[in-house]
Structure formats: C-alpha cells, structure tokens
A and B are shown apart, each in its own frame.
Chain A
C-alpha cells in the first residue's frame, strides 16, 4: 500500500521523534527535577521555607506553562538560535520541547514530593538528618512511584508536542503527517503516522506503568 520511499520516510520520522522526545525528556527531567524539589521544599511550612524563591520560581514556571506550546515555539526562536545555532530541524526543536517539558516536570515532581507523608520528614529530622539527606534519602525515594508516572505523562505529552514542532520545520512524525498526509493529500500516510504515534504512546505508557509498579512498595501483598 505504501511505497518503500514512504516507509523509509516514516522510519526516519520515527527516529527523529524518538530523538527529540528522548533528548528533551532527559534534559527536561535533569532541569525539572531539581526545580520541582526546590519548589516543594521552599513552600510555606516546608523543610527549607523560602517564600520569595518559591513565588518567583513558581511564577516563571506558571508563565511557561500558560503559554500555548505552538506560540512558545515561535516566541523563543531567538533563544533557540542562540542555543542550537539554528531554528529549523530536529536539534532546534529540542530547545522549545525542553523549555516546555521542564516546568511541566517540575510541577509533577513538586506534587509528588508534597504527597510524601509529613511524618516521614519528622522522623528523619528526629534522626538528625540534614535537609539534603531528607531530600535524597526520604523524599525522592518515597515520591518515586508518583514521579515515574509523572515522567511517563510528560513523555506522552512530549510526543504530542513533538508533532507540533513539525509545523515549524522540526521534523519527526508530525512533520511527515502534515507535509505528506495533509499538504500532499496522502491519507494513507496520515493514517500510518497516527498508527505509529498510537503504538508509540502505548509502549511509553505501558513501560512507565511497569516501572511505577516496580518502584512502588506500598501495596505489596503479604
């Protein structure tokens, strides 16, 4: 049904998407995780209460999150050029994807950490733990199941976002779908792109669920 060239394009597009999602996901986690932790521990009545920091960072995170992604991509083009040297292509697309993923992941991590039972923090304090030890030995391990699910959600969102950067020359599955499926009116290409995306999301979600189950020791059968 599809010509070999289309298959080749589809495969290349899949690799591009995976590349963009993986790199921006990892960068977003590396940046978002510490920001999320800091947001959680600097809140009112928390371990390292610092309301000024909390409000300023919180406001920046909110600004980024309230900007529609397609507008964010265009708005930060100068920044993208500065970082990636270009504003077109897969590598360039990683910049806005990371910028969008970071605050998203930060909020997810913040929420996961706030859910950790306060009694555990108190117990650790009573043992003479430093705030850093509490974060590393108590908060992060205890929040890990929720963080794993949150990162899965982020990855799925990034797959969706990565299709949007296709619209501004980012490459990947979305780009293929728009150019071949829509603009050249090849519905079978569009269908193939959608199917690949569905399968991809399923795989990511199942893997994430599996990891979250593995790290969750709360509902073990005795």
Chain B
C-alpha cells in the first residue's frame, strides 16, 4: 500500500551549521490493511517520515508510492486529489475552533466540492461510528481531549481514505482515553480494512494495536518487523530501551548480586529461556528436567501477551553435570526456544541472597 524507496530528507544548513539529515535512505513497505507503527524518540525523524506519505514534507530524494502511485511526482492538483484518499490525525487534533463538530467533519467534503445533502449522509454515520452523535452541534472548546480526537478521526475518515496517518494521536491524552482511542483505531482498521501508519514515542501504543513496527533513530530505521518478533528478540540497543520496560526481561536486583559473568568453582550456570507463541504453553522445562536429571532452580519468570500471542521469559539456575546442561541447551534450541547464558550463580552468597 505504501512503499518508501531510498527516501532521504536533508534540511539545508542554517548559517555555519552542517546540513541536517532528517531521513537517511529509508526503505519500507507497508501492506494493505496493516497497522504499522513507527517508534522513536523526538528528533528521530518519524514525524518527517510520516509527512512524506502525503507530501507535507517533500523528500530530497527517493520515491514514496501510495497505492502504486509515486506521490513525489504529482502535479499540485493531482497531489490534492491524492490527499483526499490519505486521512491524517494529529497530536493536538487541529480542529477548527470556529466550526461545530458536524462542520469540522464536513470540512474535507466541502473542500472536495461534495453537495450538502450528501455531506449530511456521510458525516452522520461517521459521528455515530466515533460515538459523538449527541455532540454534533457542539464546538471543539466544549469537548474533552478524547472527544476532540474522535472528531479528528471522523474528519480523517470523511473522504473515505485508503490510508490513515496518525501523528502521535494519543500523546496528548490520558492513559484511559488513549486506550479508548487505540481501540477505536483498531476497530476501524478491522471494519474498514484501512491501512494505518502511526508514529509514537510510546511503546504501549505499539504493543496495543500495531501489527508491525519500525524503530527509528537519527533519521534511520534501525530495526523493523512484526511487533511480536521485535518485542521477543530486540536486537538494537535503542529497541531494548523501548521494549524492556514493558517486557520484563531483567532479573530482580537481589539475584543480580549472585551473578558472576565468569565461571567460578562450585558455581551453576544461569540461563534465560524465552518462550514465544504456542511454545509458551508447552511443558518443555519439566520434560528436560526429568529426562536429563537436571535440577532447575527458577529465579524469575513472566508471561506477557503481545498481539494476543503469549510471550514468556524464565530465568533458571541449572544444577547438574556439564554434559546434561549442554544437552539441555541444545534440546531447548531444537524446541525453538530462546536460550541465553546470563552468567554463573555464585554459591557462597546463596543463603544471603535468598
């Protein structure tokens, strides 16, 4: 649905400073019907990237294809036409204070020259969809933040777009309202088959509704893929900083003190085993323990759910002979579980720590 090909954006130098590379060699494909999240800190370039889709930002080089059309090669009139099929919602809603809820939602239709009667026919079901039928004649100043964003969503949907761009749409909302708005977006995605591209700095938003995610830093995409994979196996350090707080992969501090990076006499190996998908529920651990005569001392465990699929981590101290431990690790790998050696448990501190 949307393809970025070698997209670059460079802002010319201001005075003596160096030119700013806002986007560097972005290649990304977003499929029809996907909710694609782009996460990054402020200044990572995510907002600039999102704005190249409707050409609010013109790439310095590269192409952006929306539904097969190169948006960078259109005439101004063709671009305006193309923008009718790309809806956008904003962090600060950007509603016209001088227009009622109904008239705000009607604005894109008015701009497209749609007749009054037809505008009414389109706007009213949209107000119902976002649950604001009773607010139709109110002004934005009379609405809460969540209601304003609902108006923004209805307005973005008015011209029946194929793509919805969401620019930090929940960042100005409280957690509860954020949840409601995200559910509304997920619902719209399912019901209308709308492709949604959203940018955010909140990993919870990605975890909640996105199918795929791209992580941006310094104008580059440093990691991308299905949300589950990125959460289960983050590779880049920045991705870790986003994912780790919501997926508790660490171990408690009291246990950390017992951990030595190198093997010391009488120490036992400590493993982190990660379970993903349906394997999170199969009884591999107890099977290994029985078959190989290993004692597994569980330090820490957690099961999360990402996109409806279970994802678990288990930190264990394996007590047994080295051959059995070797065999256990390869058996876990055969079973497609993630295994990682965290270090070695120092026996001397055992009682002190427990």
Interface residues of A (CB under 8 A from B): 117, 119-120, 122-130, 133, 137-138, 141-142, 144, 215, 217-222
Question: Which residue on chain B has the smallest CB distance to residue A138?
Answer: B96
- Which residues of B are found within 8 Å of A119, using beta-carbon distances? 90, 92, 94
- Using known A-B contacts A122-B94, A141-B96, A142-B97, determine if residue A217 contacts B139 with beta carbons closer than 8 Å: yes
CA of A17 to CA of B241, assembled, Å: 72
Closest 7 CB pairs of A and B: A128-B83, A123-B94, A128-B80, A119-B94, A217-B139, A222-B142, A141-B98
Q: Choose one: A125, A130, A144, A217; the contact of B56 (CB below 8 Å).
A: A125
- Which residues of B are found within 8 Å of A129, using beta-carbon distances? 80, 111
CA of A120 to CA of B152, assembled, Å: 12
Interface centre among A120, A127, A128, A133 (most CB of B within 10 A): A127
Enumerate B70-117 residues with CB–CB distance to A below 8 Å.
Answer: 79-84, 86-88, 90, 92, 94, 96-99, 107-108, 110-112
Q: Is the CB of A127 within 8 A of B92?
A: no
Q: Is the CB of A128 within 8 A of B141?
A: no
- Which residues of B are found within 8 Å of A142, using beta-carbon distances? 96-98
CA of A189 to CA of B54, assembled, Å: 67
List 6 A–B pairs whose Cβ atoms lie within 8 Å, in order of A's numbering.
A122-B56, A123-B88, A128-B79, A142-B98, A220-B139, A222-B142
- Which residues of B are found within 8 Å of A124, using beta-carbon distances? 107, 111
Q: Is the CB of A126 within 8 A of B56?
A: yes
- Using known A-B contacts A120-B96, A142-B97, A218-B141, determine if residue A128 contacts B84 with beta carbons closer than 8 Å: yes
Further pairs besides A123-B90, A128-B82: 20, Cβ < 8 Å: A119-B90, A119-B92, A120-B94, A122-B94, A123-B94, A124-B111, A125-B83, A126-B88, A127-B108, A127-B111, A128-B80, A128-B108, A128-B112, A129-B80, A142-B96, A144-B98, A217-B97, A217-B139, A218-B97, A222-B143
Q: Is B159 an interface residue, CB under 8 A from the partner?
A: yes
Interface residues on B, range: 20 to 34
**Chain B contact surface mostly:** mixed
Q: Is the CB of B107 within 8 A of A137?
A: yes
- Which residues of A are found within 8 Å of B99, using beta-carbon distances? 141, 217
Smallest Cβ distance from B116 to chain A, in angstroms?
15
Smallest Cβ distance from B146 to chain A, in angstroms?
13
Smallest Cβ distance from A130 to chain B, in angstroms?
7
Smallest Cβ distance from A171 to chain B, in angstroms?
40
CA of A141 to CA of B107, assembled, Å: 13
- Which residues of B are found within 8 Å of A217, using beta-carbon distances? 97-99, 139-141
Q: How many A-B residue pairs have CB under 8 A?
A: 75
- Which residues of A are found within 8 Å of B165, using beta-carbon distances? 126
Smallest Cβ distance from A123 to chain B, in angstroms?
4
CA of A219 to CA of B83, assembled, Å: 32
Q: Is the CB of B90 within 8 A of A137?
A: no
Smallest Cβ distance from A146 to chain B, in angstroms?
12
CA of A125 to CA of B110, assembled, Å: 14
Interface centre among B81, B82, B99 (most CB of A within 10 A): B99
Question: Which residue on chain B has the smallest CB distance to residue A143?
Answer: B98
CA of A120 to CA of B79, assembled, Å: 19
CA of A33 to CA of B84, assembled, Å: 30
- Using known A-B contacts A125-B56, A127-B111, determine if residue A220 contacts B142 with beta carbons closer than 8 Å: yes
Smallest Cβ distance from A94 to chain B, in angstroms?
32
Q: Is the CB of A117 within 8 A of B94?
A: yes
Interface centre among B79, B138, B139 (most CB of A within 10 A): B139
CA of A142 to CA of B107, assembled, Å: 14
Q: Choose one: B83, B92, B138; the contact of A126 (CB below 8 Å).
A: B83
CA of A144 to CA of B87, assembled, Å: 27
- Using known A-B contacts A128-B112, A137-B107, determine if residue A215 contacts B98 with beta carbons closer than 8 Å: yes
Smallest Cβ distance from A125 to chain B, in angstroms?
6
CA of A119 to CA of B89, assembled, Å: 11
Smallest Cβ distance from B166 to chain A, in angstroms?
12
- Which residues of A are found within 8 Å of B86, using beta-carbon distances? 126
CA of A221 to CA of B138, assembled, Å: 11
Smallest Cβ distance from A44 to chain B, in angstroms?
13
- Which residues of A are found within 8 Å of B142, using beta-carbon distances? 220-222
- Which residues of A are found within 8 Å of B141, using beta-carbon distances? 217-220, 222
CA of A128 to CA of B82, assembled, Å: 8
CA of A130 to CA of B84, assembled, Å: 12
CA of A217 to CA of B97, assembled, Å: 6
- Which residues of B are found within 8 Å of A130, using beta-carbon distances? 80, 111
Smallest Cβ distance from B135 to chain A, in angstroms?
10
